[in-house]
Amino acid sequence: MKSIAPQRIVGFITVTFLVLAVLFFLINYFSPSLVISLIITVPLFTGIAFSAVNYFINLFIYAKIKLIYKTIHNFKSAARDLDENGNDIFSQVNREVTEWMKGKTMEIQQLKQLEKYRKDFLGNVSHELKTPIFNIQGYILTLLEGGIDDPGINMLYLKRTERSIDRMISIIEDLEAISKLESGELELNLTRFNIYQMVEEVFDLQEVRAEKRNIKLKFGRTADRNIQVLADKPRIFQVVSNLIVNSINYGKDGGTTTVSFYDMDNLVLVEVRDNGIGIAERDLPRIFERFYRTDKSRSREQGGTGLGLAIVKHIIEAHNQTINVNSTLGKGTSFTFTLEKA
């Protein structure tokens, strides 16, 4: 059964009270015949008045309330509706907001990490450059204060100044190389060459360095002498040189550095392994970072810029290949990287 709207009941009661009040007044002050006539006409008047009141209520109040009610009702219906995944709209919005917050939180953490790397990098660059600059300053001041006239001092300090300048140049050149590799400005010149012969060339160049440490440079037993790869030869030469120099610098007196090759279908795996001092497990994740040193005092004593392994990593990745390191403290280190077969 259809219910009567509340505003209709209110209107009807209001009009009825008005009519009764009018009848009471008429009975007291007018004749019965007139009152009977009014009683007959009052219902008609009441109906007309009620209709008019109801009309104006609908026009000015109910129509607007109804619009608001429909809007709220439709919104509630939509909220109860399920999406394609069977989740209501509020749950979906809550999930999306939560995911958005997680994304922003991760973005903020990444920015903080990048800011930390930036500060560390600037600090490391400053520290690495200050060392040779202060050395040069000390040597020159000594010469200016009279050392230039002493044959036993002048040539010695001039040579030391030259070495410090060479160190600064090496740092700047390495930084420039990394910058070009990271930005993609450095284009690779891919050629076909024999990787075995190239390693032999590196051995020849580093022979004197290795002899000073009584370290033997050798190939693995299964090394193929005719391994052709497709890569940028000068850059791969730089990679192998850096790895072999590292193995000599951090090797043990009387130790060995071994270069081996492994066939991996369309790739060649190159391994540079030594039996030197090794790298602590906590340092392995950061070994390819710029200026990161596991033994800062010894690294500077060996004359490295702290950028060699970072350059190695960038060069290998520029070839769309990978490089990895495995090491045991006190037993040695193994660097492996892949190259495409020619």
Domain boundary among 20, 42, 77: 77
In percent, the amount of the chain with pLDDT more than 70 equals 65
Checking if the pLDDT of 314 tops 80, the result is yes
Would 301 be classed as within a structural domain? yes
Q: How far apart are CA 271 and CA 220, in angstroms?
A: 9
Would 144 be classed as within a structural domain? yes
What tokens were used for 85?
């995944």
Instruction: Return the H-helix or E-strand segment holding 183.
Output: helix 151-183
Domain coverage including residue 245? 191-341
Same domain, residue pair 23 and 159: no
The domain tally of the chain equals 3
Would 201 be classed as within a structural domain? yes
Domain boundary among 165, 183, 201: 183
Which has the higher per-residue pLDDT, 52 or 159?
Answer: 159
SS (H, E, C) 63-103: HHHHHHHHHHHHHHHHHHCECCCCCEHHHHHHHHHHHHHHH
* pLDDT tens per residue across span 75-100: 555 545 444 555 566 677 677 777 77
Would 88 be classed as within a structural domain? no
* pLDDT at 299 (0 to 100): 47
CB count, 10 Å around CB of 260?
17
Same domain, residue pair 211 and 298: yes
